[in-house]
């Protein structure tokens, strides 16, 4: 296999990999709706909307420590 042939295969499989990867990620996001910690992805918008220093964080660092 010369370099060009190799590059063509590599290119093809890279694209396949990226396409499959992307679509699985989309599927994963929309199927689960929530991430592993149980927070709905859409709630993360509140990080910007409720961002005063004394607003409650969407997911607090200190929660972790209490566990």
Partner 1 sequence: MENRPLEYDYTVAKMFMLTTIVLGIVGMTIGVFIAFELAFPGLNTILGSGLAEYTNFSRLRPLHTDSVAFGFTVSGIFATWFYVGQRVLKVSMAESKFLMFVGKLQFWLYVIGVAAAVVTLFMGYTTSKEYAEFEWPIDIAIVIVWVLWGVSIFGLIGIRREKSLYISIWYYIATFLGVAMLYLFNNMEVPTMLATSPAGETNIGDWLHSISMYAGTNDALVQWWYGHNAVAFVFTVPIVAMIYYFLPKESGQAIYSYKLSLLSFWGLMFVYLWAGGHHLLFSTVPDWMQTMGSVFSVVLILPSWGSAINMLLTMKGEWQQVAASPLIKFMILASTFYMFSTLEGPIQAIKSVNAIAHFTDWIVGHVHDGTLGWVGFMIIAALYHMAPRVFKRELYSKSLMAAQFWIQTLGIVLYFTSMWIAGITQGMMWRAHDEFGNLAYSFIDTVDVLHPYYALRGTGGLLYLVGFFMFAYNIYKTMTAGRRVEESELQNASPMGA
Q: Which of 1, 2, 61, 67 binds partner 1 (CB under 8 A)?
A: 61
Buried b (16+ CB within 10 A) or exposed e, 24-58: eeeeeeeeeeeeeeeeeeeeeeeeeeeeeeeeeee
9 binds partner 1 (CB under 8 A): no
Q: Which of 6, 12, 25, 27 binds partner 1 (CB under 8 A)?
A: 25
Residue 13, number of CB atoms within 10 A of its CB: 10
20 binds partner 1 (CB under 8 A): no
Binding residues (CB under 8 A) for partner 1: these are: 4, 7, 11, 18, 22, 25-26, 29-30, 39, 41-49, 51-55, 57-64
């Amino acid at each position: 296999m010369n370099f060009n042939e190799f590059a063509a295969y590599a290119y093809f499989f890279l694209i396949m990999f990226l396409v499959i990867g992307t679509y699985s990620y989309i599927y994963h996001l929309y199927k689960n709706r929530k991430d592993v910690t149980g927070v709905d992805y859409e709630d993360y918008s509140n990080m910007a909307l409720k961002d005063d220093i004394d607003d409650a964080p969407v997911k607090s660092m200190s929660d972790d420590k209490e566990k």
